[in-house]
Structure 1
Amino acid sequence: MEHLERRGTRVPALGLGTWELRGDACTEAVEHALALGYRHLDTAQGYDNEEQVGLALARSGVPRDAVFLVTKVKPANFSRLRAAKSVRESLRKLRTDYVDLLLLHWPSSEVPVEETLGALRELQDGGAVRHVGVSNFTPSQVLEARRYADVFANQVEYHPYLSQARLLAQARELDYLLTAYSPVARGKVSKDPTLREIGEAHGKTPGQVALRWLVQQRVAAIPKAASAENRERNLDIFDFALSEEEMARVAALDRGERLVDPGDGRDWER
């Protein structure tokens, strides 16, 4: 497993996303992932599976401090009082005293980011949160958030069909971690002829090429993998490297295809 280092913290470059995994299927998936060697887990209050993730982590036998655990505060809990209470509930469900990274799941037009991040900083000061960050924030929204907290990460949709060049440049300039969700475009990359051709040259699948492309940009990727086969395959991306030409060919697949959009007319590039 490769790691990405930000401000003295090492983050596994590949993690397990758990969106849409619930109940026993979620518990089994997380347990299996940890047994394979995954050490980066991503969940959220809005996923309704924190309890299952926590159960799997407790059952796994993997030391808590060996896992980079991420959860997110949902917008309904962004007020100062609700934020703190909801995070304590998340910790109870996750069976842990702290999370490594706590994110604001989406920007809010109702609660000032200063208020929510203020509450998270208090939790951080108390040791319940190691790092705070954001998710689905545009470049200007990241700058606004940085006025009120040390933003460690921004988690966004990122795959070969959706360029995040502006956020990637900003992440490098400001030294925050960019994390890619939906990194294989919900399976769409599997049928891509360019990715298939590149993969065949390395004995890899199109999905593995897409994940390797992200990791080589120093971006963390958190693919959801409901099947054991996909969890194993996704982890098998650290024994090859893409050439500069291959990296450019993957980048050229960008077509501005956004799979997750709240439909509020926001300017994602601003």
Structure 2
Amino acid sequence: MSGAGTLPFGLPPVSLGTWQLRGREASRAVQQALALGYRCVDTATGYDNEQDVGAGIRASGVERDDLLIVTKFPEEDAGRERETLLRSLDLLGVDHLDLWLIHGPLDPDGSLAVWERFVDAREAGLVRAIGVSNFRPAQVDDLVARSGVTPSVNQVAFGPRWFDPALLRHHAALGVAVQGHSPFSENDLGHPVLKAVAGHRGRGVHQILLRWHLEHGVPAVAKAASPAHLTANLTAGEFALTSAEVAAIDRIADDAWTGAAP
């Protein structure tokens, strides 16, 4: 068994996150996001909204081949991988996923057993790429060493609160793409550094957080429901931060930075 972690497609700078969105709100958000230009939609079996997300995708009228659809497998369902995947495909209304992630690590033997079923699903054409979420570098190393298959993606909290350049270096060496989840809920939106940079730039804190991810080469999954918020998130690619601003935000992780933005 072998395989590199290279994705067969590129992740966009900002994907639509759907955590806590359900029912008509979820379907409407997906439909509006795709109308605005989003092309990657992220959900999870554990979000209990795959059917709603699928309804939004169908209502959008966007061709399936133009979309990246991502869902995540709940680690507590270990042993029911194929059953869970087929149900996800049915709820989403598609015949394959673009990316399937293990939502969180198990013990080493458990992660390996799930991962082997993920490899089988990829080889069967049910998913284009497979990856993990919330795995630490040592857990990725163990999975690769024992399976011979490198995850294409590790989706982790990578906001300023969790800034980890060592993880970036480690994953780059393996060919694992890092994607940041929960950029808003996992960070202090009222942090003075973020507010100062946002004020200096004439942008919202949400936009600064997304731009900071991109400055580190990390695409983000950002939840939004309103058209205004959806639109604002897409503008993260329209401006840049200075190296001093990036460094100031980097230091939020260890609380070393207490001054205003440069």
TM-score (norm 1): 0.87
Q: For 2:182 and 2:254, locate their aligned partners in 1 and report how far apart those are by CA, in whole Å.
A: 15
Aligned to 1:252: 251
Aligned to 1:219: 218
1:20 aligns with 2:43: no
Aligned to 2:163: 163
Amino acid paired to 1:241: A
Deviations 1:213-256 (A, max 9, x none): 10121111111113332111111111111111111011011148
Q: Secondary structure at the match of 1:251?
A: helix
Amino acid paired to 1:224: K
Aligned to 1:10: 10
Amino acid paired to 1:127: G
In 1, are the aligned partners of 2:159 and 2:186 still within 8 Å (CA)?
no
Q: For 1:128 and 1:41, locate their aligned partners in 2 and report how far apart those are by CA, in whole Å.
A: 17
- Percentage identity across paired residues of the two chains: 34
Gaps of 5+ in 1: 1-5, 257-270
Aligned to 1:236: 235
Deviations 1:126-180 (A, max 9, x none): 1111111111111110112223223001111121122222221212211211111
Deviation at 1:111, TM superposition (A): 5.8
Gaps of 5+ in 2: 1-5, 256-262
In 1, are the aligned partners of 2:42 and 2:69 still within 8 Å (CA)?
yes
Aligned pair count reads: 249
Q: Which is bigger in relative contact order (C-alpha 8 A, separation at least 6)?
A: 2
Kindly report the root-mean-square deviation, in angstroms, between the aligned alpha carbons of the 2 structures: 1.8
Q: Write the mapping of 1:28-67 to structure 2, written as runs, cut at 5 A.
A: 28-67=28-67
TM-score (norm 2): 0.89
List structure 1 segments (4+ residues) > 6 angstroms apart after TM superposition. Answer: none
| Higher helix proportion (structure 1 or 2) | 2
Amino acid paired to 1:39: R
In 1, are the aligned partners of 2:51 and 2:91 still within 8 Å (CA)?
yes
Q: Secondary structure at the match of 1:11?
A: coil
Q: Secondary structure at the match of 1:69?
A: strand
Q: Write the mapping of 1:1-270 to structure 2, written as runs, cut at 5 A.
A: 6-79=6-79, 82-109=80-107, 112-147=110-145, 148=147, 149-185=149-185, 188-189=188-189, 191-255=190-254
Q: Secondary structure at the match of 1:10?
A: coil
Q: For 2:108 and 2:152, locate their aligned partners in 1 and report how far apart those are by CA, in whole Å.
A: 23
Q: For 2:154 and 2:205, locate their aligned partners in 1 and report how far apart those are by CA, in whole Å.
A: 25
Amino acid paired to 1:155: Q
Q: Secondary structure at the match of 1:71?
A: strand
Q: For 1:76 and 1:198, locate their aligned partners in 2 and report how far apart those are by CA, in whole Å.
A: 41
Q: For 1:126 and 1:12, locate their aligned partners in 2 and report how far apart those are by CA, in whole Å.
A: 26
Q: Secondary structure at the match of 1:32?
A: helix
Moved more, 180-189 or 226-235: 180-189
